[in-house]
Structure 1
Amino acid sequence: MIYLASKSPRRAELLKKINVEFLLLEAEIEENLVLEGSPAFNAEKLAKEKCSQGIKNAIATNLENYPVLAADTIVVMGNKIYGKPKSSDHAFTMLSELSGQVHEVITGVSVGAWNSEKADIATISVSTFVEFGDISAIELKEYSETDEPLDKAGAYAIQGYAEKFIKGIKGSYSNVVGLPLFEALKLLKQFQL
């Protein structure tokens, strides 16, 4: 059993697919997408903050001592980070920039546990490269006006309607969905799971 410190239904779905038992755990943090160092550093930093907050919340509410899993996914092209779009128009702009290009999806993953003295947190990041084909303005507009892009980094869901825009992928598919399963399980094993 673990705690998943995430509101992402996609991360929950991924864990269910591989039969990892989990309980959802609140872990609100202030997400700031201002680059401080590398994009991977930022993804790791946000994941670690979520994990740390999850541990604090578990301790404060006297929950069972299970490991906490947290993640944060960002999309990067060049020096620009593509977070979650603020509106349909913003999603359209983001997707227009990604159309016909290769971008990087980086997920920071943290797993933490605690005892009476301290908390231990292990953090990694995983990168996947995604190439979009050329997408027509009509397709972009239709997609950006759906609800699908609005709560996703980069304004798309590879496992949803946007899958038809993907020309190629190099790396972990589940990373693009929001949780690199192979690497997350490897981290969990460090905490005897």
Structure 2
Amino acid sequence: MNYLSNRNKIILASASPRRKQLLQEANIEFDVIPSNAEEISNLPPLQLVSENARIKAESVAKQNENRLVLGSDTIVALDNIVYGKPRDLIEATQMLTQLQGKTHSVFTAVCLAKSVDGKMKSVCDVQKSDVKFKTLSAEEIQQYLKCVNVLDKAGAYAAQECGEMIIEKIDGDFDNVMGLPMRLVKNMLDTTNF
């Protein structure tokens, strides 16, 4: 079923291959226009992820009048410390070392935005999943880093790529940990009327 058969294609304000894959699997038609908006970094996790998703969606919506834009942001948080994408493998090693043996939260915000006659409308929501990492040795962390390119992934890991090496348990939706909670996306698309 084409999920948006009665609407125009949405715009995905992200270049994330994982988000594209999840939308394609859900038969949601979309174009890709990545946001170049400046993200913020100085808020608590829940506010941070929501605000960055809104900024991304609205920045693309401003340039694409009358088109529905989906913006999203995913962060990993442990004890109110936010783990974004690592700058290099040294930082990735540090992140995985700090997360190993513990349960952290993955927050993904979804924001739908549309600019109509120059007036911006947007709605945002956040989904949380808890991920428990196995207790990992330094060697196991290095083996994982050889298995996955972690530099474009919040928290320096991908649940869908060799996740069994490091993840003990996920409480919540797996696709949320991947970067786009599809039940939330579908619900928002069904209930948003602008």
Fold shared per TM-score above 0.5: yes
Q: Sequence identity, in percent?
A: 35
Contact 1:67/1:191 (CA < 8 Å) preserved in 2?
no
Residues 85, 149 of structure 1: 8 Å contact kept: yes
The residue type equivalent to 1:3 in the other structure is I
Q: Does 1:27 align with 2:28?
A: no
Q: TM-score, normalised by structure 2?
A: 0.90
2:177 maps to amino acid:
V
User: 2:91 corresponds to which residue?
Assistant: 90
Quick check: 1:88–1:145 contact (8 Å CA) kept in 2? no
Asked if structure 1 preserves the Cα contact closer than 8 Å seen for 2:95 and 2:156, the reply is: yes
> For the Cα contact (< 8 Å) 2:148–2:161, is it kept in 1?
no
Instruction: Tell me the residue number matched to 1:17.
Output: 25
Residue 164 of structure 1 deviates from its aligned partner by: 2.6
CA distance in 1, matches of 2:118, 2:157: 42
SS across alignment from 2:177: helix
Counterpart of 2:87 in 1: which secondary structure? coil
Q: Aligned pair count?
A: 186
The C-alpha deviation readout for 1:22-76, integer Å capped at 9, x for no partner, is 0001311222322x2x3111100000000010101224xxxxx331001000000
The structure 1 segments of at least 4 consecutive aligned residues displaced by more than 3 Å after TM superposition are none
Deviation of the 1:145 alpha carbon: 4.5
Q: Is the 8 A contact 1:92 1:140 kept in 2?
A: yes
The two structures, once aligned, show a CA RMSD in angstroms of 1.6
* Match of residue 16 from structure 2: 8
Structure 1 unaligned runs (5+)?
60-64
Alignment correspondent of 1:62: none
Structure 1 equivalent of residue 181 of structure 2: 180
Q: Secondary structure at the match of 2:151?
A: helix
Relative distance call for 1:66 and 1:121 in structure 2 (3 A) is: same
